[in-house]
Structure 1
Amino acid sequence: MNTLLLDVLDGKQVERPPIWLMRQAGRILPQYRKVRAGMGSFVDLVKNPEKAAEVTIQPVDELGVDAAILFSDILVIPECMGLEYHLVKNKGPVFPKTINDPGDIDQLIHGEIATKNLGYVYNTIGEIKNRLDRVPLIGFSGAPWTLFCYMLEGEGSKTFSKARRFLYQHPEASHKLMDKLAVSVAEYLKSQLENGVDCVQIFDSWAGMLGQDLYKEFGIKYIEQILSTLPTGTRTIVFSKGASSSFGELLNLDCKALGFDWSYRPSEINSVVKGRKVVQGNLDPCVLYGDEKTIKEKTLQLLTSFDEKHIVNLGHGVYPDTPLDGVKTFVNTVKSYRY
């Protein structure tokens, strides 16, 4: 097996950094579009272990990345707790039913009772492990705050003001929901590890919507709770997009690696991290729209900015209309680099 990713997370010396991409399994690949066209809906694809395993493996074959990431969705957690969702074309996820008052939170199941309903995810992991032994498999979950946002808003938002308002109007109920989410996410990640994933990433996509104090109280606190319940030695990555004001608190998390978006300068990251964590990221995804020369230059600039405790990735998921040739140039430039 290509163990580059695991070696970096374990603090071992490597000859080059590993590379994988958030959202590497998706619309940038014609193979994915073909599979997706044959399914009734995105949720149907997520719940089909054979097809979900197929699209998980596609970018490993096509792009030559150093890890696969489980094809699923962060919203399987709210769904298993009692809030169904579906994906609307050109709009994104939509929840027919949302959390509107504190009483709604009492109706949600959580923890092992809820996550036992995610057997299709664990079956997908089994299918992937049966077919793929060349690279590690990354499992993942959304962080409680990001899941909270969707459960309150019912869809994506530019401000998530309804979710943020709820924190102020109902702080006790907000903590109750966050705790239910944290317990559920922890059980979910433990089950993923038991079924064979090699490491896990926690995505807090909407971390940047909260200021430092609120994010510490309603975001980082519950990520800490999740991390504290995972088996000792679990390889963990935390990606809190946009949470630059909370850099110091994030650095104190008991995780192996921190992901960074493109708003951070590498010099800033290095001056604060100082080797305490593996760094993941942080190339602007829009670089991949550039010509070959530009992509190579920007990639090499990134590579030479970090030491051997670096996992190369974008500062966000790869965008759906990114040219495939641009993605391949990025990956191949990293793979030809040596420290």
Structure 2
Amino acid sequence: MNDTFLKACRGEKTDYTPIWMMRQAGRYLPEYQKVRGNVTFLELCKSPELCVEVTLQPIDILNMDAAILFSDILILMEAMGAPLEFHEGKGPIFPKTIRDQAALDRLSVPDADEATGFVMDTIRLLRKELRVPLIGFAGAPFTCATYLIEGGSSKVFWETKKMMFTNPELFHNLMSKITEATILYLAAQARAGAQALQLFDSWAGILAPCDFKVFALPYVQKILQSLKKFDIPLIYFANNGATLLDLSITSGADVIGLDWRINIGDAIKKVGKRAVQGNIDPFALLLPKDQLRKRIADLLDGAKDAHGHIFNLGHGIHQFTPPEQAKIAVDAVHELSSR
């Protein structure tokens, strides 16, 4: 197995910088679109054989150094008892929001192997097929809570922040329940064979540092601490989180994911003896080949003092990105970092 990704996570010497991309199994690949054309998104997420197929696509086509399980961060929320719908052009919808104690009481903390057994089946099947490490994942509690409270995506997060500031007890109770379920879910992924685990905190960046410290960080810390016993790399990614970096490094993660809004050299100085993952703007993949290669060379140079560096985008690859541009990036990272 190519274990370059795992070595970088642990801060060990590697022959080159490993690369994978968030949302690497997805809509930008025609091969994915072909599979997706026959099933709904949720049907795809719950079909282990199809999940294996689309998880393997970017490994086979683009030569990524790690695979990330194909799933969605909200699968666990559905398993907890929150009806989930996906609508084209609108994204995820929770028709029954969680805005009072009665609604919260209807959520359960499920047995992960029973409620999300299809995820564990996918992991076990992938481990038989993969030649690179497999990353399992979950949504961080704050991000998942926003979807449950808002009923879907939001621009201003009015209902979430209203609950935080006017009914903090209810908010913390919701966070505690999501945290408990997430610990069980990620532990099950580790037992099934995931070789690293990532917490995605897509909406953490909407919080002031003082609020992140109270309303989000303690739950991330609890999850990551509970997973230490599995002795696999733990990654925490707070999107739009440059202002939260001083706090994120206390999360307990072995690897800190970075978006593109911070210079990687500056981030490395703060992160210290931890690996970093990131952090090119996903839209930089649209640059002409020579300019893209230079952007990558500059980023690799900026990361030369990192305890360990995994090359990644600062967020998910955009659905309209030409696959050939992603291939240019992968090849450039491998070539330029091995010199």
Q: Give the alignment of 1:61-100 within 5 angstroms.
A: 61-100=60-99
TM (normalized to structure 2)? Answer: 0.96
Counterpart of 1:13 in structure 2 is 13
Counterpart of 2:314 in structure 1 is 315
- Count the aligned residue pairs: 335
Counterpart of 1:242 in structure 2 is 240
SS in 2 for 1:14: coil
Counterpart of 1:207 in structure 2 is 204
User: Structure 2: how far apart are the matches of 1:243 and 1:311?
Assistant: 18
SS in 2 for 1:82: coil
The one-letter code of the counterpart of 2:213 is: K
User: Structure 1: how far apart are the matches of 2:28 and 2:293?
Assistant: 19
Given that residues 83 and 96 in structure 2 are in contact (C-alpha distance below 8 angstroms), is that contact kept between their aligned partners in structure 1?
yes
User: Structure 2: how far apart are the matches of 1:19 and 1:53?
Assistant: 20
User: Structure 1: how far apart are the matches of 2:256 and 2:228?
Assistant: 19
User: Structure 2: how far apart are the matches of 1:176 and 1:100?
Assistant: 11
TM (normalized to structure 1)? Answer: 0.96
| 1:2-47, Cα deviation, whole Å (9 max, x unpaired) | 00011112221112111000000001111100000011x1000000
Report how far residue 238 of structure 1 moved: 0.2
Report how far residue 186 of structure 1 moved: 0.8
Given that residues 25 and 32 in structure 1 are in contact (C-alpha distance below 8 angstroms), is that contact kept between their aligned partners in structure 2?
yes
The one-letter code of the counterpart of 2:236 is: V
Given that residues 138 and 186 in structure 2 are in contact (C-alpha distance below 8 angstroms), is that contact kept between their aligned partners in structure 1?
yes
User: Structure 1: how far apart are the matches of 2:303 and 2:242?
Assistant: 19
Q: Give the alignment of 1:20-31 within 5 angstroms.
A: 20-31=20-31
Stretches of structure 1 that go unaligned for 5 or more consecutive residues are none
Report how far residue 67 of structure 1 moved: 0.6
User: Structure 1: how far apart are the matches of 2:324 and 2:112?
Assistant: 41
The one-letter code of the counterpart of 2:57 is: Q
| 1:288-329, Cα deviation, whole Å (9 max, x unpaired) | 111111111101111111125100000000000011111111
Counterpart of 2:54 in structure 1 is 55
Report how far residue 227 of structure 1 moved: 0.8
Counterpart of 2:114 in structure 1 is 116
User: Structure 2: how far apart are the matches of 1:228 and 1:234?
Assistant: 12
Counterpart of 1:127 in structure 2 is 125
Stretches of structure 2 that go unaligned for 5 or more consecutive residues are none
The one-letter code of the counterpart of 2:150 is: E
The one-letter code of the counterpart of 1:43 is: L
Q: Give the alignment of 1:87-236 within 5 angstroms.
A: 87-110=86-109, 112-113=110-111, 116-132=114-130, 134-232=131-229, 233-236=231-234
Given that residues 190 and 231 in structure 1 are in contact (C-alpha distance below 8 angstroms), is that contact kept between their aligned partners in structure 2?
no
The one-letter code of the counterpart of 2:118 is: Y
Given that residues 10 and 275 in structure 2 are in contact (C-alpha distance below 8 angstroms), is that contact kept between their aligned partners in structure 1?
no
User: Structure 1: how far apart are the matches of 2:8 and 2:310?
Assistant: 8
